[in-house]
């Protein structure tokens, strides 16, 4: 996709292509240019084909991306104490680059990252909760 920064990395058109850690026929993994913590290692995994949202991916690309996530996670968990996998869809959820990408963020004691920042809410009633179960189940059929 023209003007997509991640497509440019895939095509080796910009400097960040040097930061590619892993590549296969369907996916690449490369360092995020602004890591979430100072020790670095924050890695992005993307399909080579340009899709905007996780729901846009073909099944084959989704499977390939998950295998690359697993491969990179094995490496990152050897030098970190833990790791978060995060994927943002649409601006309201924090998506700023419109090429679907998965963040692998190595975690360390006191690294200052606030991922667990939401407060735990409660459903107003059991029927509200069960209505939500049903709503999502109905949408799965589409
Ligand atoms: P998101 O907010 O989920 O869209 O995340 C986009 C991520 O892409 C951010 O963490 C940026 O630091 C990262 N990013 C943007 N441009 C580049 C680039 N040229 N090379 C590597 N990472 C990038
Ligand atoms: Zn792209």
Mutate to test the pocket of ligand 1, among 96, 100, 101, 115 (most ligand atoms within 8 A of CB): 96
Q: Is residue 132 part of a domain?
A: no
Q: Give 38's contacts (C-beta < 8 A, 6+ positions apart).
A: 111
Predicted local distance difference test score (pLDDT) of residue 1: 86
Predicted local distance difference test score (pLDDT) of residue 116: 74
Encode pLDDT of 45-99 as tens digits. 999 999 999 999 999 999 999 999 999 999 999 999 999 999 999 999 999 999 9
Domain residues for the domain of 24 are 5-116
Predicted local distance difference test score (pLDDT) of residue 118: 82
Domain count, the chain: 1
Q: Is residue 36 part of a domain?
A: yes
Q: Give 50's contacts (C-beta < 8 A, 6+ positions apart).
A: 1, 4, 6, 7, 99
Q: Is residue 126 part of a domain?
A: no
Q: Is residue 47 part of a domain?
A: yes
DSSP 91-120: GGGT--SSS--EEEEEE-TT-----S-S--
Predicted local distance difference test score (pLDDT) of residue 115: 83
Mutate to test the pocket of ligand 1, among 11, 97, 103 (most ligand atoms within 8 A of CB): 97
Q: Is residue 12 part of a domain?
A: yes
Predicted local distance difference test score (pLDDT) of residue 21: 97
Q: Could you tell me where the beta strands, DSSP code E, fall in 5-71?
A: 20-23, 27-31, 43-47
Q: Is residue 25 part of a domain?
A: yes
Residue 67 sits in a domain whose CATH number is 3.30.428.10
Q: Is residue 130 part of a domain?
A: no
């Amino acid at each position: 996709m023209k003007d997509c920064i991640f497509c440019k990395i895939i095509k080796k058109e910009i400097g960040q292509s040097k930061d590619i850690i892993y590549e296969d026929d369907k996916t690449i993994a490369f360092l995020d240019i602004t890591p979430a913590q100072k020790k670095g290692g924050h890695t992005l995994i993307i399909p080579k084909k340009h899709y905007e949202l996780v729901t846009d991916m073909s099944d084959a690309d989704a499977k390939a991306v998950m295998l690359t996530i697993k491969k990179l996670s094995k490496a990152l968990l050897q030098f970190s104490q833990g790791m978060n996998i995060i994927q943002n869809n649409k601006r309201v959820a924090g998506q700023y680059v419109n090429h679907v990408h998965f963040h692998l963020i190595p975690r360390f004691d006191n690294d200052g990252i606030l991922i667990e920042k939401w407060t735990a809410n409660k459903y107003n009633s059991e029927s509200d909760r069960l209505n939500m179960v049903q709503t999502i189940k109905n949408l799965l059929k589409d």
